[in-house]
Each structure stands twice: as C-alpha cells, then as structure tokens.
C-alpha cells in the first residue's frame, strides 16, 4: 500500500480507501455484521486505513456496521463521515444543515461508530446557500475544539458547477475536498489547482463510475430494483456511460484489470490523495488494493511534489 498526506492535516491515508454507501442497503444488497467484519479484515491486511461513510447511508446504518466491525481497533482506522441529510427510507432524504440539527447528527454518528472522535467530518453535497448557513462553521469549530472532530472536509455535490465552496475551504478550516473524479469525468480537475494552492487533500469518489469502469457491464444492463444504479440513473445515462467504457479497453495495461487501471488513473494526478471505491465484498477490496502498485504520480506534472507519497 502507498500513503499520502491528507492536505495540511496530520493524517496519512492509504491511497486506496473504501467507500461504504453500499452498507446502507441501497445497492441491491443488505449486509450482516460478519460480512462487514470480513471487509474490514481484508482491508486491514491490505494496508487500507481509510473508510468513507455518511449519516444517510441507511439511517446511520453504514456507520453502525463499521462501528461494530472496528470495535477494539478504532485507532487503526481513519474514519470520514458526513452531515446534512436525514435518511427517511431508501432513496429518500431530507436536508438538515441547521447547526443544532448537525450537532445532533454528529452525536448520532459518534454513537453509531462507537467512537469519541471523527477523523474527517464532511459537509455533504449542499448548495452554496446551505454552505453559508449561519453559525454552521462556527459550531463545527467548537466541536473540533471539544475533540469530537479532528478535521473538516467538504464533499462537493456533483451538480455544482462553480468553485465557490472549494475556494473558501481552507479559510473555513477544512483540510480536504471530496468530489466525483473518474476516467469518465475528468472535468473535476478544474478545481485541483485551487486545492493544491490551499493544501487541501482530495478524496476521489465514484472512481469506478458506479462500477461501470470495471468493464463487466454490457450496454442494456438492468440492475436490481433496489440498486441505486436502477433507481437514480436513467437508462439513457447508463447506456451512454457504458458505451464510453467500451472505448477505453485499449488503455488498460495487460497486467491489470480495468477496475485497477481506473483507480490508478485517478491517482496519477498529484492533487488526488486517495480514491474511495465502494465495494460489494472482501474480494473487491483485495482487487482494488492492488491498484496501489500500479498507481504512479505523473512526475512530469508541475505539482508532482504535492502528493507527499510514502510507502
């Protein structure tokens, strides 16, 4: 495994982390405590130390499953979670960004994760007005002082087209940005210079384009009725992305799977700290961890030193 410093923080995160939206039950599968334990054991054996979860992957369900699996080993993990949404039922959330509501969510996340602190607490996909909610960042600063939050992050909505939130991040005390970045969506690179200038880490989310960049899905694929790819992606968008993937097979080196190549592709930019692929189970964790061997920061890049990579 390789590790990179997360922005100006003292966290050295594995370049391959794990996204855990799947554990909330919206990806066509429910998870038992044993299955989650197996995922974390595999991750630990591979040197992975970063877990990304959220308040609304189930009603704190993903956090709860992680909390049980981490019990007794909390200090081995860097836990990133998020605030701002309330899970009502699968595929249905309310926004809750008022400081008192966020404070309640923080307490609920701490309880679910069975921890006294969150390593990275991220603003979760809010628009620019919500980002400026009165008293929000002051309240979060107080939680940092109280030791409940180690670092703040901003998970940028995929709908946002401006750089407002990224440009304000460091001034608000954030250490990292989370955004969609993958071989089908390279346009997120537009904010990378701002991140490097502010010394912000970047968590690249959806690095496999919802699994499409594994190359295993033909056009016309229909997912299970309780799989987010069937519920939230239109058939047109799915087929458009799957057609794009078909044109990329010639970029994949012969000694790697398409998924490993897609993860390594994200990590070649020195601004990217880590990728957080979601996983169905422990086998995918192992396969994805091997992408760290392929991942090379582009040394010809003017910001090549920015990654601060160690093995």
Ligand X SMILES: NC(=O)c1ccc[n+]([C@@H]2O[C@H](COP(=O)([O-])OP(=O)(O)OC[C@H]3O[C@@H](n4cnc5c(N)ncnc54)[C@H](OP(=O)(O)O)[C@@H]3O)[C@@H](O)[C@H]2O)c1
In angstroms, give the least distance from the CB of 149 to ligand X: 17
Query: Using the rule CB under 6 A, which residue among 120, 140, 169, 210 binds ligand X?
Result: 210
CB atoms within 10 A of CB 303: 16
3-state secondary structure of 153: strand
CB 2 within 8 A of CB 310: yes
Query: Using the rule CB under 6 A, which residue among 165, 175, 288, 307 binds ligand X?
Result: 288
In angstroms, give the least distance from the CB of 221 to ligand X: 9
Give the start-end residues of each E strand in 68-158: 78-83, 85-89, 92-95, 118-124, 149-155
In angstroms, give the least distance from the CB of 181 to ligand X: 10
Query: Using the rule CB under 6 A, which residue among 49, 109, 155, 165 binds ligand X?
Result: 155
Interaction of residue 174 with ligand X, rule CB under 6 A: no
* Residue whose tokens read 């990292």: 176
* Residue whose tokens read 């990378």: 192
CB 270 within 8 A of CB 303: yes
Please choose, out of 19-27, 64-72, 162-170, 266-274, the segment that lies near ligand X by the rule CB under 6 A.
Answer: 19-27
Query: Using the rule CB under 6 A, which residue among 165, 178, 198, 241 binds ligand X?
Result: 178
Tallying the residues shown for the chain, one arrives at 311
Please choose, out of 97-105, 133-141, 246-254, 274-282, the segment that lies near ligand X by the rule CB under 6 A.
Answer: 274-282
Distances (CA, A) of 301 to 26, 142, 307, 311: 38, 38, 11, 20
Query: Using the rule CB under 6 A, which residue among 14, 277, 282, 309 binds ligand X?
Result: 277
Please choose, out of 5-13, 109-117, 189-197, 208-216, the segment that lies near ligand X by the rule CB under 6 A.
Answer: 208-216
What is d(CA 148, CA 144) in angstroms, rounded to the nearest whole number?
6
Report the DSSP pairing between strands 149-155 and 85-89. Answer: unpaired
Query: Using the rule CB under 6 A, which residue among 3, 27, 31, 87 binds ligand X?
Result: 27
What is d(CA 14, CA 68) in angstroms, rounded to the nearest whole number?
22
Please choose, out of 30-38, 139-147, 231-239, 282-290, the segment that lies near ligand X by the rule CB under 6 A.
Answer: 282-290
Task: Pick out residues in 43-102 that bind ligand X (CB under 6 A).
Answer: 52, 82
CB atoms within 10 A of CB 166: 23
Distances (CA, A) of 9 to 4, 83, 120, 215: 11, 20, 10, 35
Query: Using the rule CB under 6 A, which residue among 191, 202, 206, 266 binds ligand X?
Result: 206
Please choose, out of 33-41, 97-105, 162-170, 275-283, the segment that lies near ligand X by the rule CB under 6 A.
Answer: 275-283
- Count of residues binding ligand X (CB under 6 A)? 29
What are the structure tokens assigned to 173, written together? 């005390």
Please choose, out of 15-23, 35-43, 86-94, 140-148, the segment that lies near ligand X by the rule CB under 6 A.
Answer: 15-23
CB atoms within 10 A of CB 2: 18
Per CB under 6 A, residues contacting ligand X are 19-22, 27, 52, 82, 124-125, 155, 178, 205-211, 214, 216, 259, 276-280, 284, 287-288
């Amino acid at each position: 495994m390789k590790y990179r410093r997360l922005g100006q923080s003292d966290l050295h995160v594995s370049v391959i982390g794990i996204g855990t939206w799947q554990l909330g039950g919206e990806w066509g599968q429910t998870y038992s405590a044993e299955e989650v334990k197996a995922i974390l054991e595999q991750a630990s054996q591979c040197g992975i130390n970063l877990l990304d979860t959220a308040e609304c992957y189930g009603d704190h369900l993903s956090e709860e499953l992680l909390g049980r699996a981490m019990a007794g080993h909390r200090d081995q993990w860097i836990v990133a979670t998020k605030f701002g949404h309330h899970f009502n039922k699968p595929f249905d959330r309310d926004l809750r960004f008022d400081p008192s509501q966020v404070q309640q969510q923080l307490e609920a996340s701490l309880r679910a994760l069975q921890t006294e602190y969150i390593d990275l607490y991220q603003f979760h996909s809010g628009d620019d007005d919500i980002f400026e909610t009165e008293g929000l960042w002051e309240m979060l600063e107080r939680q940092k002082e109280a030791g409940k939050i180690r670092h703040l992050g901003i998970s940028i909505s995929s709908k946002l087209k401006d750089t407002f939130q990224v440009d304000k991040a460091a001034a608000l005390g954030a250490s990292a940005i989370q955004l969609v970045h993958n071989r089908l969506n390279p346009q997120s690179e537009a904010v990378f210079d701002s991140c490097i200038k502010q010394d912000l880490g970047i968590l690249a989310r959806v690095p496999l384009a919802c699994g499409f960049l594994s190359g295993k899905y033909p056009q016309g694929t229909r997912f299970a009725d309780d799989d987010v790819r069937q519920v939230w992606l239109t058939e047109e968008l799915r087929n458009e992305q799957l057609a794009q993937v078909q044109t990329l097979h010639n970029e994949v080196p012969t000694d790697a799977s398409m998924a490993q190549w897609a993860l390594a592709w994200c990590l070649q930019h020195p601004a990217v700290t880590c990728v957080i692929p979601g996983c169905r189970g422990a086998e995918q964790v192992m396969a994805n961890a091997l992408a760290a061997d392929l991942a090379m920061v582009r040394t010809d890049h003017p910001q090549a030193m920015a990654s601060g990579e160690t093995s």
